[in-house]
Chain A
Amino acid sequence: MSRIIQFRQAVAEAMSEEMRRDENVYLMGEEVAEYNGAYKASKGMLDEFGPKRVIDTPISELGFSGIGVGSAMNGLRPIIEYMTFNFSLVSIDQIISNAAKMHQMSGGQLTVPIVFRGPTGSAGQLGATHSQSFESWFANTPGLKVAVASTPYNVKGLLKTAIRDNDPVLIMESEQMYGDKGEVPEEEYLIPLGQAHIDREGTDVTIVSFGKILKVVHAAAEELAKDGISCEVIDLLTVRPIDYATILSSVKKTNRMIVVEEAWPLGSIATELTYVVQREAFDFLDAPVRRITTADTPMAYAPTLVEAFLPSINQVIDAVKGVMYR
């Protein structure tokens, strides 16, 4: 049986189910308890689990991220919420130098089963500091696992898996998805990390994307279908480790690939996918791989500039037609 719920409820269900299952799991972050979450993604959790396990913090991302890592070194399984990953930058040393390295530096003596989660990317006209995507930054770091959800269904399954994982995992969401509705089973399910999902099967072009910008991709694929162009849309879901096999087998079928990513172009996930496809499927390509990313600038405030910054449906349509030579 399934029902239609909001993305924020799927997040709360994932955390609540795992907290009922394991008393060492706790949630910590700004406004997670009494305020019920800045985006209501932990609604009702303080009432159920109490202040020992649903913990409001002052605005001290560095401090509470490090306390989370230290508590994981001593047997707990924290979920650290960032109001947005834009704020994770003041704690990035704790994620990169401590969480990601501890197992290796201690020769396997210590594990850090921690989840860092929160929204990534842009969320309207918020200007430069609140509109950044750091998926590729974190994905660059060995020791971390990084997943980016796109639906209520997959955020719940990925988050539950992440909480049970013994390595540090980042789960990225979006302020603009918390109100999205989608089908979520009543019964328990998990989605493994490192497996992409084929959202839409197609034969002409492979479009790889992840996170909320997939909505742009799906809209473009619908439009293109009207023109008789069949797009295969792959939701990467996890950006470390990446499911290269699913992408390669799709590209070997369609012979064309486009990557759509809400992030700056240099050193992006798109760049990595492009490298792997030219290395592993060079002879299968009928056109150069194209990528659509944000502009190579900070995001700006004015609506015209936001539109100019973000990947658009028209850009995707044009790129697909480009690689189809149409």
Chain B
Amino acid sequence: MPKKKVTKAVYLKWYEDMLFWRKFEDKASALYIQQKIRGFLHLYNGQEAVLAGALHAMEKGDKMITAYRNHVQPIGLGEDPRRIMAELFGKETGTSNGKGGSMHMFSKEHHFYGGHGIVGGQIPLGAGLAFADKYKGDKHVTLCYMGDGAVRQGAFHETMNLAMLWSLPVVFVIENNGYAMGTSVKRTANHEDIYKLGLGYEMPCAPVEGMDPLTVYNAMQEAVDRARSGEGPTLLEIRTYRYKGHSMSDAQHYRTKEEVAKYQEQDPILIVKKEIEDKKYATQKQLAEIDERVKSLVKECVDFAENSEFPKPEDLYKNVYSQEDYPFIINN
């Protein structure tokens, strides 16, 4: 399959999407400090190119699954961002009606299968989504995301083996942001080239520079094509960086401010903006209009969430089972 063109329209979409995701997460961070959003909050700031590049390689019906850094993926796939913000607030208008929260976003309509809170637990699920597509004869591909910490779980290794054994249409995407919470990659194994874990399973694997959506797209398109044509899985180690702490409570003593600043110089949004400016894809006025649209959409999300209701106490019993009359034990 020939690569898709990365046109002016793509760059402008990348810019607007990534800027929106960044501002959405910044707003979520501020709302967390105001205690409007509770629980744990893991932000995507700095990693946006990994999503933007991948989305351009996906076709309708392709699926995505990831861990708990998962607010913006369903938005990128088409979910209404107001419902994601409402879920962060725990409101009944949220994507999971306030049952999932920050770590458990889902959008079946847009083929986003979560949003999973146990490190590595989603990896076999991603292979299972792909297994079902292959079983049904659907030509869809699943992008199964995980962090660098997850590759040290048994779930990763068992799934790698089974996905190769059954030649499943899945792309395993490791977002290597350098740290599993506060533990750097070099403190978790005797070598730092995570992609090499694919070699033992004879799975095609490669490291990918992850701060530019174009490099991500190129690698992803090849992997997606391989999966769709029946040639099985690929393991991509996408080297990225998160600007924020692991979660909001992270004081980040394990890294220096200089290290964060170094990565911020190659910020994915700046890279895309520079390309737009160099190629004259948009005027400064048009870019300013994008900024305005993003700002106002973020505000809309917050207003929507603020004005929504919390679920009612009796909703606790809804959707635990698909059986509607399940006889729960009620203490009396």
List residues of chain A with CB under 8 Å of any chain B CB: 24, 26, 52, 57-58, 60, 62-76, 90, 93-94, 97-98, 102-111, 142-143, 145, 165-167, 194, 241, 279
Return A190 CB to nearest CB of chain B, in Å.
15
Number of A-B pairs, beta carbon distance below 8 Å? 154
Pairwise interchain contact B113-A73, C-beta atoms closer than 8 A:
yes
Pairwise interchain contact A58-B124, C-beta atoms closer than 8 A:
no
Pairwise interchain contact A62-B124, C-beta atoms closer than 8 A:
yes
CA–CA, A68 to B126, complex, Å? Answer: 10
**Given A58-B165, A66-B127, A93-B121, does the pair A75, B136 have CB atoms closer than 8 Å?**
yes
Q: Which of A60, A67, A75, A107 lies in contact with B319, CB distance below 8 A? A: A107
- B327 proximal to A (CB < 8 A): yes
Pairwise interchain contact A62-B132, C-beta atoms closer than 8 A:
no
- B131 proximal to A (CB < 8 A): yes
Q: Which residue of B lies closest to A26 (CB)?
A: B135
- B254 proximal to A (CB < 8 A): no
Return A235 CB to nearest CB of chain B, in Å.
19
**Given A60-B161, A165-B323, does the pair A104, B124 have CB atoms closer than 8 Å?**
no
Pairwise interchain contact B108-A110, C-beta atoms closer than 8 A:
yes
**Given A70-B125, A104-B320, does the pair A63, B158 have CB atoms closer than 8 Å?**
yes
CA–CA, A67 to B321, complex, Å? Answer: 21
Pairwise interchain contact B108-A109, C-beta atoms closer than 8 A:
yes
Q: For residue B76, which residues in chain A have a CB less than 8 angstroms away from its CB?
A: none
Q: Which of B113, B117, B118, B162 lies in contact with A110, CB distance below 8 A? A: B113
Pairwise interchain contact B118-A97, C-beta atoms closer than 8 A:
yes
Pairwise interchain contact A71-B323, C-beta atoms closer than 8 A:
no
**Given A58-B165, A66-B159, A166-B323, does the pair A74, B132 have CB atoms closer than 8 Å?**
yes
Q: Which residue of A lies closest to B106 (CB)?
A: A106
Q: For residue A94, which residues in chain B have a CB less than 8 angstroms away from its CB?
A: 121, 124
The stretch from B17-25, B92-100, B184-192, B215-223 touching chain A is B92-100
CA–CA, A75 to B332, complex, Å? Answer: 38
Pairwise interchain contact A66-B322, C-beta atoms closer than 8 A:
no
CA–CA, A74 to B133, complex, Å? Answer: 8
Return A166 CB to nearest CB of chain B, in Å.
4
Pairwise interchain contact B100-A70, C-beta atoms closer than 8 A:
no
Q: For residue A105, which residues in chain B have a CB less than 8 angstroms away from its CB?
A: 96, 99-100, 104, 106, 114-115
Pairwise interchain contact B133-A142, C-beta atoms closer than 8 A:
no
- B63 proximal to A (CB < 8 A): yes
Tell me which of B65, B132, B162, B165 has the highest count of chain A C-beta atoms within 10 A of its own C-beta: B132
**Given A58-B162, A63-B155, A66-B159, does the pair A107, B96 have CB atoms closer than 8 Å?**
yes
CA–CA, A60 to B135, complex, Å? Answer: 20
Q: Which residue of A lies closest to B318 (CB)?
A: A108
Q: Which of B97, B124, B135, B332 lies in contact with A76, CB distance below 8 A? A: B135
Write the B82-122 contact mask toward A (1 if CB under 8 angstroms, else 0). 00000000000011111110001011110001111110010
Q: Which residue of B lies closest to A59 (CB)?
A: B158
CA–CA, A24 to B137, complex, Å? Answer: 12
CA–CA, A69 to B65, complex, Å? Answer: 13
Return A271 CB to nearest CB of chain B, in Å.
13
**Given A106-B96, A109-B106, A109-B108, does the pair A71, B129 have CB atoms closer than 8 Å?**
yes
Q: Which of A64, A90, A194 lies in contact with B162, CB distance below 8 A? A: A64
User: B residues 275-332 with Cβ under 8 Å of A?
Assistant: 318-323, 326-328, 332
- B230 proximal to A (CB < 8 A): no
Q: Which of B109, B128, B327, B332 lies in contact with A71, CB distance below 8 A? A: B128
